[in-house]
Structure 1
Amino acid sequence: MDKKGEKIRVGIIYSAESILFLLAATLLGMGFREIGFTETNVVLLYILAVFITASLTRGYLWGILSSVAATLTFNYFFTKPYHSLQFYDAGYMVTFAVMTVVALVTSALTSREKENAKKALERERQTQALYLLTSHLTEAKELSDAAETAVSVISDLLDCRAACLCYDETGEPEKTFLQRTEEGKLVRRRLENGKEVKKRLENLRDPFYVGEEFYDWPVYGGEGILGVVRIPGERAEAFEETQKIFLHSMLECVALAMDRILAVRKQVRSRQQIQQERYRGNLLRAISHDLRTPLSGIMGTSEMIMDMSKKEDPRFDLAEGIHKDAIWLHSLVENILSLTRLQEGRMVIKKQPEAVEEIVGGAIAQMAGRSPGREIQVEVPEEVLMVPMDARLIMQVLINLLDNAVKHTPPEAEIKITVKKDLAGEKAVFCVADRGEGIAPEDLPNIFQTFYTSRIKPVDAQKGIGLGLTICESIVSQHGGRMEAGNRTDGPGAEFQFTLPLTDTCPVDKETEETDGTIS
């Protein structure tokens, strides 16, 4: 039945009730008159009829109409001349006025109490419904469970075939959505034009979107839209404002439940990642410790063979190759140990004012043992430049940068270290430049990432697994400085630049450190 037909049916029922009560009051009034009761008692009968009519009908209209009809009926049957709306006694005018006012006030008060009672019952029902929804959502472990609960409860409370569409972890709508059928079952329906649904909801200015089949209410979470509650259009169109407010309250409960589920899921993943990182760090540290001792023996033995052999002896070349590879492996082991310390927060920064010339000289001296015959140009200020730093760690940064420059620069080409103050005189600027092939533009954004190596050069072109620059960037960052990489503007080659504050503004709160040796 449509709305118009429903209104007509209700109007007929209310009209019949009003006429019935007025007829009963009239018949009783006639009986009172025969017995000899005064007209005041008859007036009370009509007021009672108005009261009962207002109690059984909705709104103020029927109470007002019943009040006017009661006054006219009393005048017609109980004032002279009878069966006429005229009256001879002027005092009846006061009686009619008082009767009408009393009837109207009684009707209004009754209707108001009915409305208040109805609103109270509605609020109680909504409160119970929200409690039911919240209690069921608390038990949900997955987004699909929350969607099933939301569809079932909303469908029951709003008398509709509600549906729910969830978004995945990437913020995209799922391929299907859940809907309640007429038989009360939950079915999966395929979503058409998911991208269009997402776009129109992202640009939504109103509380809901009016579609061809559904009215879509977005479920907003802390990081955006988590899902969509869909109400069939013919039912949503008939919603009253109170029902829309009630639906909004239920959507907030659903959003809180979905946010909780996603937060738990992220927490579990984070815990798993932390555990995996711990296992990986322990494995790398164990392997590195086990490799240290044999590598030291190999390095020492190869040096002895080189000292005992002449350069034209084939054994000298073999021993030299073994020695270089052992040095590279030893450096790799130290880098792995340094990485695990940095990631686990066990790298101690012991800052003391150090002369820049000494740190640069120590790094070049170590590189001379690794790459004899390689010339490195140095430019430092004429005055002694003292910088608060951990000398051992900053020397490791310079060694890693120089080692990287040696790998990518031809033997006859230039490698240069420059140290100077910045324009503000607040930082020391270190720069290591080479004349290699430079850094590919696609490598620049990722060059300081762990285990990242160039995608341009062949895998076996140079030895390295992408740890040196990561460690350098971490050490400089813990000193309160900043590291950058780029290509030279005066010709081919790359340059790595980092800064260190000239005043100790980066307090160190690390307390423990492994005592398994220094980084070399």
Structure 2
Amino acid sequence: MSRKEEQAGPGARDGRLWPLYTLETAVFLLSATLVGMLFHKIGFKETNVVLLYILAVFITSSLTRGYFWGILASVAATLTFNYFFTRPYHSLQFYDAGYMVTFAVMTVVAFVTSTLTSRKKENAERALEKERETQALYRLTSRLTEAKELSDAAETAVVIISDLLGCQAACLCYDEKGSPEKTFLQRTEEGTLVIKRLEGEEELKKRLGQLHTSFAVGLEFYDWPVYGGQGILGVVRIPAEKAAGFDDAQMVFLHSMLECVALAMDRILAVREQAASQQQIQQERYRGNLLRAISHDLRTPLSGIMGTSEMIMDMSCREDPRYELALGIHKDAVWLHGMVENILGLTRLQEGRMVIRRQEEAAEEIVGGAVARMAGRAPEHEIQVEAPEEVLMVPMDARLIMQVLINLLDNAVKHTDVTQEIRVTVKKDSRGENAVFTVADRGEGIAAEDLPNIFQTFYTSQIKPVDSRKGIGLGLTISESIVRQHGGRMEAHNRTDGPGAEFIFTLPLKTDTAEEKAVNDGKEQVNGTVS
């Protein structure tokens, strides 16, 4: 029963309370009349009888709900006093004009007394209701704090909302993809919890998607979505016949409980994400340690294999079958060594241990050193170099930028026939602010499907056939990261003047030393070559 109905009068009340309140009013007025007759017979003044009727009005207002019964008792008390205790008796007429003042004062006093009593009672009931709501929210919050999963929060919400609102509430949770689950939890009339299958999933999603109010009206349920930081986390469902009768106070109370449920669900998801993130970090740490340990263990034997194969080639003539065998061993060892260095470089990048040490370096010397290194790896390929006539000094970490060029040249050699062009170009850009390095080839180019992902970690082409030297997709990733840490950028595209691909990266000719110091502050100095 709502407070508005209680204040509206008997017409809005339950029919069972009308006879009770009528009987109470009649009994108190009758009691006041009988006692007043006794006072009158004893010889008490009429003012004492007036006080009896005011007392009857006061008691009536205290025991009934709303203003109606107090006002009714006030009017009835005035008329009863006039009928029994003013001349002519047993008539509503009066001879003495002074009684008019008595009746007016009596009516006003009775009315004010009734009003004050009703208001005090209403305030007391309101305070009690607020206390119950506060206790209920505290109980809800306390139990939600103990919830570890969304299902636990849903169960708590169903139980407490059902108890406080007197309904068979239900709760539907959403999965990680933002879709409602196939089942929901509901409280039965017997107080047990049952799992029901969700019917009309698409209709529910449509109603909630087009929602312009705080709840969606359905044939069986009124649905209140529970919003979190990532969208809808669940839906609290109230049976339609019960929800249709909710007043404003109940709606406000329900919204308060929904906010508590939303906070609890958000907390559960945050804890879950934090745990998953910590687990992922731990796995990444284990993976990095394993890769680093394996790579370090492989570097020494690979260096020995490379050196031994070179010695065999130097001791054998080209016609000797052992020369070709040693050459194949050397090439495979060089490829494996480069892959191991790339893995080490990846772990350093992910852990933030790669330190950039910039110094003014001649760009053509760095390019020449990279080309010379590649000549030893792929002597059958001819690499053309184009550099400006004047010395181009670029602030860079020479060791890392040379490795970027080696990675790009190795990629070009891998996809270019020995008779086709491979060219390295270095120059200033049109504004003279950056040094532009270009590695171009005449291979088959880059497939359109590969262009958006070519710098992603462990990405390799999904179109070309797998071979023994395809690589594991680290060289370009590490190269792009090194250039980015230098303050430059790298891009890749197909050539416009024919077949082939171009990899272009820029390095700024001027750097902010303060910014560089901040970037490198606190990082370890890493020895060794990074691929």
TM-score with structure 2 length normalisation?
0.94
Rounded Cα–Cα distance in structure 2 between residues aligned with 1:128 and 1:249 = 12
Deviation at 1:365? 1.2
In structure 2, relative to structure 1, the CA distance for the partners of 1:366 and 1:307 (3 Å cut) is: same
Alignment of 1:287 with 2:297, yes or no, is: no
Q: Does 1:428 align with 2:447?
A: no
Q: Deviations over 1:215-241 (max 9, x none)?
A: 111111122111111111111111111
- Asked if the contact 1:348–1:511 (Cα under 8 Å) also holds between the matched residues in 2, the reply is no
For 1:321, the equivalent position in structure 2 comes to 328
Matched with 2:195 is 188
Q: Aligned ranges for residues 37-76 of structure 1 at < 5 Å?
A: 37-76=44-83
Write out aligned runs for 1:317-396 (5 A): 317-396=324-403
2:8 aligned partner: none
Tell me if structure 1 keeps the 8 A contact 2:364–2:426. Answer: no
Aligned to 2:504, the other structure's residue is in SS state strand
How far has the Cα of 1:424 moved from its partner? 4.0
AA partner of residue 519 (structure 1): V
SS at match of 1:8: coil
Question: How far apart, CA to CA, are the structure 2 residues paired with 1:233 and 1:517?
Answer: 72
Output one character per residue of 1:89-108: Cα deviation in whole Å (capped at 9) or x when no partner: 11111111111111111111
- 2:310 alignment partner, one of 297, 303, 322: 303
1:243 aligned partner: 250
Letter in 1 for 2:136: A
* Aligned counterparts of 2:241 and 2:13: Cα–Cα separation in 1: 16
CA contact 1:166–1:173 (8 Å) conserved in 2 = yes
What amino acid does structure 1 have at the position aligned with 2:151?
S
Residue identity in the other structure for 2:164: L
The one of 83, 107, 129 equivalent to 1:122 is 129
Query: Is contact 1:486–1:496 with CA below 8 Å preserved after alignment?
Result: yes
Q: CA deviation at 1:466?
A: 0.7
2:526 aligned with 1:519, yes or no? no
1:83 to 90, 101, 106: 90
Deviation at 1:433, TM superposition (A): 2.0
1:256 aligns with 2:263: yes
Find the residue that maps to 1:416 and give its secondary structure: strand
Within 5 Å, give how 1:468-487 maps onto structure 2: 468-487=475-494
Give unpaired runs (5+ residues) of structure 1.
Answer: none
Percent identity, aligned pairs only, is 77
Q: Residues 188-236 of structure 1: CA distance to partner in whole angstroms, max 9, x if unpaired?
A: 1111233432343233221111111111111111221111111111111
Kindly state the Cα deviation for residue 403 of structure 1 after the two structures are TM-superposed. 0.6
Question: In the alignment, does 2:505 pair up with 1:504?
Answer: no
Residue in 1 that maps onto 2:455:
448
Are residues 86 and 516 of structure 1, via their aligned partners in 2, closer, same or farther at CA, if it must alter by over 3 Å?
A: same
- Contact 1:428–1:500 (Cα < 8 Å) also in 2: yes
Match of residue 16 from structure 1: 23
Relative to 1, partners in 2 of residues 1:83 and 1:419: Cα closer, same or farther, differing over 3 Å? farther
Contact 1:346 1:510 in 2 (8 A): no
Counterpart amino acid of residue 207 in structure 1: S
Match of 1:270 in 2: 277
Distance across 1 between alignment mates of 2:29 and 2:431: 98
When residues 179 and 487 of structure 1 are mapped into structure 2, their CA distance, relative to the original with a 3 A threshold, is: same
Q: Which amino acid aligns with 1:332?
A: M
Q: Whole-Å Cα distance in 2 between the matches of residues 477 and 198 of structure 1?
A: 44
CA contact (8 A) 1:181 1:187 kept: yes
The aligned counterpart of 2:104 is 97
CA deviations on 1:141-161 (whole Å, 9 max, x unpaired) are 111111111111111111111
Q: Which moved more, 1:81-90 or 1:317-326?
A: 81-90
C-alpha distance in 1, partners of 2:364/2:28?
111
Aligned equivalent of 2:444: 437
Once residues 387 and 101 of structure 2 are traced to their aligned partners in structure 1, the CA distance between those partners, rounded to angstroms, is 113
Question: TM-score by structure 1 length?
Answer: 0.96
How far is 1:184 from its partner? Answer: 0.7
How far did 1:511 drift?
3.8
**Corresponding letter in the other structure for 2:528:** G
Distance 1:456 1:496 in 2: 20
Do 2:310 and 2:330's aligned partners in 1 also have CA atoms closer than 8 Å?
Answer: yes
Change (3 A) 1:403 1:44: same
Assess, with a 3 A threshold, how the Cα gap between structure 1 residues 290 and 95 changes in structure 2: closer, same or farther: same
Contact residue 355 and residue 526 of structure 2 kept, 8 A: no
Q: Which amino acid aligns with 1:13?
A: L
In structure 1, what is the Cα distance between the partners aligned to 2:526 and 2:396? 20
Would the alpha carbon gap of residues 382 and 115 (structure 1) be closer, same or farther in structure 2, given more than 3 Å must change? farther
Q: Distance in 2 between matches of 1:58 and 1:246?
A: 23
Deviations 1:357-391 (A, max 9, x none): 12111111111111113222333334333222111
Map 1:214-233 → 2, pairs under 5 A: 214-233=221-240
Are the counterparts in 2 of residues 309 and 315 from structure 1 also a CA contact under 8 Å? yes
Give yes or no for contact 2:354–2:526 (8 Å, CA) kept in 1.
Answer: no
- After TM superposition, give the deviation of residue 421 of structure 1 in Å: 3.2
CA offset at residue 285 of structure 1? 1.0
Taking the aligned partners of 2:429 and 2:232, their CA distance within structure 1 comes to 47
Aligned CA-pair RMSD: 1.9
Q: How does 1:103-118 map to 2 (within 5 A)?
A: 103-118=110-125
SS at match of 2:295: helix
Distance of 2:84 and 2:441 partners within structure 1: 118
Partners of 1:41 and 1:519 in 2: how far apart? Answer: 108
Q: Partner letter of residue 529 of structure 2? A: T
CA offset digits 1:27-59 (Å, max 9, x no partner) = 111111111111111111111111111112222
AA of the residue aligned to 1:444: L
| 2:500 maps to 1:489 | no
* C-alpha separation in 2, matches of 1:192 and 1:383: 77
The alignment status of 1:138 with 2:145, answered yes or no, reads yes
